[in-house]
Structure 1
Amino acid sequence: MLNLFCSVLLLLLLSVSGKVKSPNYKEYCVIGAGPGGLQMAYFLHNAARNYIVFEKADKAGSFYEIYPIHQKLISINKRYTDRTNKEFNFRHDWNSLVSHDESLKMTKYTNEFFPPADTLVQYLNDFATKLNLKIQYNSTMHDVMKRDDKLFQMWDQHDNAYTCKYVIMATGIAKPNIPLIPGYELIEGYENLSTNLSQFMNQNVLVIGRGNAGHETAQYIYGVTNHVHMMSRSRNKLAWATHYVGHVRAVNNALLDTYHFNSLD
């Protein structure tokens, strides 16, 4: 009993005077094994840092197994530039991550200018495997907190505790943006959207939102619908006009063509 009391007292003293590290301590904890998490892991790995990447799925880049719903990326796969300068060519490669391995270039994985999303998933997993990045899969982290001793603590779904000095969130957008409008509970969200065209056949469809997801959806279904209506709180922002690549890309805006030709959409 005395030994137990002494152990508890020692733990309390350490938590006040110093940093108590759990057996699962890493200097860096990266949450998410998408492109951002893998790129951070690569630099930490090369710098011989004590790190770990937590990924909730059983593979890297699992986000792209679902999104975009219609599985065509808007990041260009520029394979030819008429230049031999590697740095110049890499600036025009929108998908590859930085590494010392010349085989790990997205341009070697597909010929398509706008690559399919599943090809990116394959590339990201090859990147993680070939470079021996330290990733713990099937780990859903929750309750990330900063303790009084300045260390971060978190738990996985099995309530295993982890501590780290630095936490890097690389999860991207985790939740859908739900419009708070009357009847929103009747709306089918992009995250649940069917790709079965028969469900849209001979229908009048309203798309709320005119970003890439909205235009991608409208373009996918407009060949089988009566009308596609699009609404948003602002005017269309086209990437070629704003010079921001996150705005509507030309690959997704074919509905604007039918609109300007007064073709019912």
Structure 2
Amino acid sequence: MGLVRLVFICCFVFVYGENKHDGSIKHDDPMLNTETPNYKEYCVIGAGPGGLQIAYFLENAGRDYLVFEKDHMAGSFFQKYPIHRRLLSINKIFTGKTNKEFNMRHDWNSLISNDDSLKFGKYSKEFYPNADSLLEYLNDYATKLNLKVQYNSTMHDILKRKDGLFQMWDQHNNAYTCKYMIVATGVSEPIAPKFAGDHLIEGYENLSTNLSDYKGQSVFIFGRGNAANDVANFINGVTAVVHMLGRSPTRLA
């Protein structure tokens, strides 16, 4: 049997919420300009690393805020991604230095806090750690720092009212209003370029993690970001050749 050429679109996928409601709430209702249901000064959408980090600063500043997370845990993106479970963010614990700022530059996973127990190096010693360690870390970060996170809340139809406030609804049509809206949901949908034969592409979100499926294959990867390198690193030992194509040269942090 000849070599089979596989083509992948490599990107992270994270869809936060659907943009719809049941029609019982009218977006042009003038009452939207006078009522402030479930008001918070700051609304943060998403309890991933970005959402938790801004929540920490809001908590320390004594601000009125709430983080909305669609899943039952913080960092839910990392339950599935990266699909091969090995992070590409380094966890260099032993730098030979005592300077905290220098050491933090070699720690790509820890969030900023005033709690020294919340350093990622206490959760994993691996240079390229497992994604499950990051999940554990993020949920401990949210719990130990008493961050205000409302789980199982899928928000949709975010709009800015005439009075300058933001309003949105959850999956139960409960309305929320806030003065400042911070969206920390990451990439919202797959990046899929259109060209002849694109129906043959297999997306990163659906790739097999069984190495035997790639033995002796010539593999062409569209993209040179984290997801693309995740796939290339995983299959490189069993493939005949791996080609990677990107719109620009690879940029490292």
Amino acid of the residue matched to residue 74 of structure 1? L
The one of 31, 51, 75 equivalent to 2:89 is: 75
Determine helix, strand or coil for the equivalent of 1:225. Answer: coil
**1:254 match:** none
**1:182-201 alignment to 2 at 5 Å?**
182-201=196-215
1:36 aligns with 2:50: yes
Q: 1:88 to 1:205 in 2, by over 3 A?
A: closer
**1:171 match:** 185
**1:78-227 alignment to 2 at 5 Å?**
78-227=92-241
Determine helix, strand or coil for the equivalent of 1:154. Answer: strand
Worse-superposed segment, 96-105 or 205-214: 205-214
**1:3 match:** none
Deviation at residue 15 of structure 1 after TM alignment:
6.2
Deviation at residue 90 of structure 1 after TM alignment:
2.3
The count of aligned residue pairs is 225
Amino acid of the residue matched to residue 20 of structure 1? E
**C-alpha distance in 2, partners of 1:232/1:40?**
32
1:45 aligns with 2:59: yes
State TM-score, norm by structure 2. Answer: 0.82
Deviation at residue 121 of structure 1 after TM alignment:
0.7
Deviation at residue 57 of structure 1 after TM alignment:
1.0
Q: 1:227 to 1:78 in 2, by over 3 A?
A: closer
Amino acid of the residue matched to residue 116 of structure 1? N
Contact 2:88/2:230 (8 A) holds in 1: no
**C-alpha distance in 2, partners of 1:71/1:35?**
17
State TM-score, norm by structure 1. Answer: 0.78
**C-alpha distance in 1, partners of 2:98/2:241?**
48
Deviation at residue 206 of structure 1 after TM alignment:
2.3
Structure showing greater Rg: 1
The one of 34, 39, 59 equivalent to 2:73 is: 59
Deviation at residue 79 of structure 1 after TM alignment:
1.1
List runs of 5+ in structure 1 lacking aligned partners. Answer: 1-10, 246-265
Determine helix, strand or coil for the equivalent of 1:172. Answer: coil
**C-alpha distance in 1, partners of 2:67/2:143?**
13
Q: CA RMSD in A?
A: 2.0
List runs of 5+ in structure 2 lacking aligned partners. Answer: 1-28
Worse-superposed segment, 215-224 or 129-138: 215-224
Determine helix, strand or coil for the equivalent of 1:144. Answer: strand
Contact 2:32/2:161 (8 A) holds in 1: no
**C-alpha distance in 2, partners of 1:55/1:85?**
35
**C-alpha distance in 2, partners of 1:212/1:163?**
35
**2:242 match:** 228
The one of 36, 42, 46 equivalent to 1:21 is: 36
**C-alpha distance in 1, partners of 2:237/2:118?**
38
**C-alpha distance in 2, partners of 1:79/1:177?**
34
Deviation at residue 73 of structure 1 after TM alignment:
1.5
